[in-house]
Amino acid sequence: MKRAKMMTLSFIILVLLTFVFNQAAMAKGQPGPTIVELVLAANAEGPYAGQFDTLIAALLVADPIVITKLNGNGQFTVFGPTDDAFADIGLDPGNIGTALPQDYLTDVLLYHARRGRLLSNAVLGHHRLRMLFGGFLMQSEGVLTDNLGREANIIVVDLKAGNGIVHVIDAVVLPYAAE
């Protein structure tokens, strides 16, 4: 029960931080929701409702730099794993904060994002995608391959935010093996 209360409190804090960042972005003329706001909204209603609980929990647990970047003015392309993708590696909203060290989780999340706004046709035109973590994802016909040779399919494309694009993937990509 205590864990559920912490997650609820963390979610409220994330929503409040997102609101503050959004107000600053609107003042600077950024059109539309940020990437974080887009994920929150997609998770709340519509065809993707309830599919990003673990991603949201991961954002709350990771170093705040991840949320700061994804709520900022820069343009980013994010490959967002679904809850099923996280479940495939044993993660869910209840254990994401204890199953992985914060620094590794931060690296993993930064490995799902890159600078620049790439719509799906632009993603398909790249064979290598440099990620914010610093490594590359290889791309071939909508299949991403991480540094460990694991594959993730792009299953939903071109969810547009004011500061970038989100593509949904069916697996978590990893920059390196967890210790």
Note the pLDDT of residue 30: 57
> CB neighbours (10 Å) of residue 112?
28
What is the DSSP secondary-structure string of 130-172? E-TTS-EEEEETTEEE-TTS-EEEEEEEEEEETTEEEEEESS-
pLDDT of residue 15: 46
pLDDT, position 31: 74
Cβ atoms of 10 and 1 closer than 8 Å: no
Domains of the chain, earliest start first: 2-169 (2.30.180.10)
The b/e string for 76-110 (b: 16+ C-beta within 10 A; e otherwise) is: bbbbbbbbebbeeeebebeebbebbeeebbbbbbb
CB atoms within 10 A of CB 14: 18
Any bridge partners for residue 81, and if so which?
169
pLDDT mean values, one per 10 residues, the chain (179 residues): 49 47 48 93 95 98 96 95 98 96 97 98 97 96 97 97 98 94
Q: What is the pLDDT of residue 29?
A: 54
Q: Of 28, 125, 120, 131, which is closest to residue 76 (Cα–Cα)?
A: 131
Output the pLDDT for position 9. 43
